[in-house]
Structure 1
Amino acid sequence: MSAIELGQARLTFLPQVGGAVASFTVGGRDVLRAAASDTVDALAAASFPLVPFCNRIPHGRFVFDGREVVLPPNLPGHPHALHGQGWRAAWAVERAEDGEALLSYEHPSDVWPWAYRAEQRFVLKERGFRAELTVINTGEAAMPAGLGFHPYFPRRPGETLTAANDGVWLIDTDVLPTVHHPGPWEADWTAGALVEGHGLIDHCYTGWDQRAVLRAPGQPDTVITASPECRWLHVYVPPGADFLCVEPCASRPNPFGDGDTGMVVLQPGERRSIWMEIATA
């Protein structure tokens, strides 16, 4: 496990587990949900990268530039390809010192038939950190790409989430988007809503303004900000769990579906980057 520190802030990594963050603490307090020392699945980590697409591709099937691609399922018991390849691969630590870290992953063409390099750059601050996620097309053909972050936060008593948005994608039983619902649904995050007291929330919110705040009585706020490309905010609140996810994303679920999904096309040698900052008051 690698780590970087700056003042009271400490960020640890599980590079072999999907390039995941293992923990982020300020003054010994967990700002992100801490992973167990023996964690072997990014889903049990503090945060992990979404590259080169976010969320689910229905049955892993899509067509790009006249080419049909079929990706195998990568979540046990689930029929759809999820979150790309980065979270299921081992990453290399190229640097981890002086409050900064660089992790990298080289993907050869395989069932995802495009080679790419992914990088995560972390910079610690006194009470937060900045993560930059980059994908570079290292192949010889144009490649589709989408990026996102998947941080987990401890769920605190009385916690609220405030995040401006203009609507939400409703989902089916496979958590695939169905129709876009304008305005508030289930929980009005724009007004600042309690995290508790809802059914399953595993939804993608549109029109996000790249700022979200988690607030709990008597405790420091947690503020999540992101780059302008992150126009979607995925919120995951499983009933009865001790965590929630607030995920800045530059593409939406079903990334090869109709309409504006946020996916871009990278020519050979081109790159795309997004960033996220997490800070505590």
Structure 2
Amino acid sequence: MEAALSPAIGGSLLRLTLDGADLLRRAPEGTDDPLAMASFPLVPYANRIADGHFAFGGQDYRLPLNFGDHPHSIHGFGWQAAWTAKATDGTSAHLIHEHEGDAGWPWPYRAEQQMAITPSDLSMSLFVENRGDRPMPVGLGFHPYFVADDATTLRFDARSLWLSTPDMLPEREAPADTLGDWSRPATVRGDSLIDNVYGGWGGVATVERGDGLRLTLTATGADWLHVYRPPDAGFFCLEPVSHMPDAINRGGMATLAPGAVARLSMTVAIDEIDQALPKSASIA
């Protein structure tokens, strides 16, 4: 098992491999685009905030539109910031990102990622501390891209699904099997776009690939799972997140008191393969 990191590009994961085989989509050599990474952190909010506008504590705020010509702000600040590697060794890493506060997000915070790899799993924890003197809204998540072949199946349990508007904001709640029944293993590749959030997620998702590899994603602090499946692609995303898109405008965003810390963690584990597990692991 090997994980490679790029603190300078959004505190992102460049690759996660088993005996050289990609478990997550590998970042192209030399890219500086966070959206091309194997995974990146979402902090201090996940997914979209409509029109980059929200009200909190009786005041209105406007965020920069940070996703090309998309009409909404997306994924927070951490994925587009340079993180600092505070401590690394062969099997662990500790990354830091600090925000001093600005007009769009006036609350200063300190975000940390702690990562550890073993021969059978990679664990990643994301923390954010409110370093200001007033409460701030907060949300966390991870954005891993899983490799998918034609035989790859996905399984997870959820209570419901939110259908989206054309510009990808939640519009109405629907049964969890509306876009496919993931409560049993189902082929994940398809010819339509899925870019939707599932509520009441059970905290576990299982991916089985045609090469005999089974991966298990588990998360804590994430009641929601956002699934991004572009049509006819060799990858898909399973994003454990603490809230639905645009939650800050819908009464579903947590509030963090001054000095308090919010946490979310994710583990990607090799649950079963057709051969014995390797005996070593490293972070580069």
TM-score range relative to shorter protein: over 0.9
Q: Give the partner amino acid of 1:167.
A: S
- 1:205 corresponds, among 182, 195, 198, to 198
Number of residue pairs aligned between Structure 1 and Structure 2:
270
CA distance in 2 between partners of 1:81 and 1:218 (Å): 38
Identity of aligned residues (%): 40
- Alignment of 1:226 onto 2:216: no
Instruction: Work out whether 1:265 is the aligned partner of 2:255.
Output: yes
Candidates 173, 183, 188, aligned match of 2:166:
173
Which of 31, 35, 41 matches 1:43? Answer: 35
What does 1:119-158 align with in structure 2 at a 5 Å threshold? 119-158=112-151
Q: Which has the higher contact order (CA 8 A, sep 6+)?
A: 2
Question: Which of the residues 75, 79, 98 maps onto 1:106?
Answer: 98
Residue 118 of structure 1 corresponds to which residue in structure 2?
111
Structure 1 residue runs of 5 or longer lacking an equivalent are 1-8
Q: Does 1:240 align with 2:225?
A: no
CA distance in 2, matches of 1:107, 1:273: 17
Corresponding residue number in structure 1 for 2:279: none
Q: Determine whether 1:215 maps to 2:208.
A: yes
Q: Distance in 2 between matches of 1:37 and 1:217?
A: 26
Contact 2:148 2:209 in 1 (8 A): no
Structure 1, residues 239-280: CA drift from partner, whole Å, max 9, x if none? 022210011111111121335x2x221111111111000012
Q: 2: distance between equivalents of 1:233 and 1:149?
A: 10
Alignment RMSD, CA only? 1.1
> Which residue of the partner structure matches residue 8 of structure 2?
16
* 2:280 aligned residue: none
Match of 1:79, SS state, is coil
Task: Supply the distance in 2 between the matched residues of 1:34 and 1:23 (Cα, whole angstroms).
Answer: 5
Q: Distance in 1 between matches of 2:216 and 2:31?
A: 26
Q: 1:34 to 1:191 in 2, by over 3 A?
A: same
Structure 1 residue 98: Cα displacement: 3.6
Distance 1:98 1:85 in 2: 28
Matched letter for residue 56 of structure 1: R
Equivalent in 159, 178, 182 of residue 175 of structure 2: 182
- CA deviation after TM superposition for structure 1 residue 182, in Å: 2.3
Q: Does 1:274 align with 2:264?
A: yes
Contact 1:122 1:131 in 2 (8 A): yes
Counterpart of 1:66 (choices 58, 66, 82) is 58
Which residues of structure 2 form unaligned runs of 5+? 273-284
Alignment of 1:53 with 2:45, yes or no, is yes
SS at match of 2:263: strand
For 2:97, the aligned partner's letter is Y
> Which consecutive aligned stretches of 4+ in structure 1 deviate over 6 angstroms post-superposition?
none
Provide the rounded CA distance (Å) in 2 between the counterparts of 1:63 and 1:257.
Answer: 7
Deviation of 1:167 (Å): 1.3
Q: Which one-letter code corresponds to 1:104 in the other structure?
A: I
Could you tell me which residue of structure 1 aligns to residue 276 of structure 2?
A: none
Q: Which amino acid aligns with 2:258?
A: P
SS at 2:262 equivalent? strand
8 Å CA contact 1:53–1:255 kept in 2: the answer is: no
Q: For residues 21 and 258 of structure 1, what CA distance do their matches in structure 2 show?
A: 31
Determine the structure 2 residue equivalent to 1:3: none
Offset at residue 207 of structure 1 (A): 1.2
The CA distance in 1 between the partners of 2:12 and 2:137, in whole Å, is 23
Corresponding residue of 1:87: 79
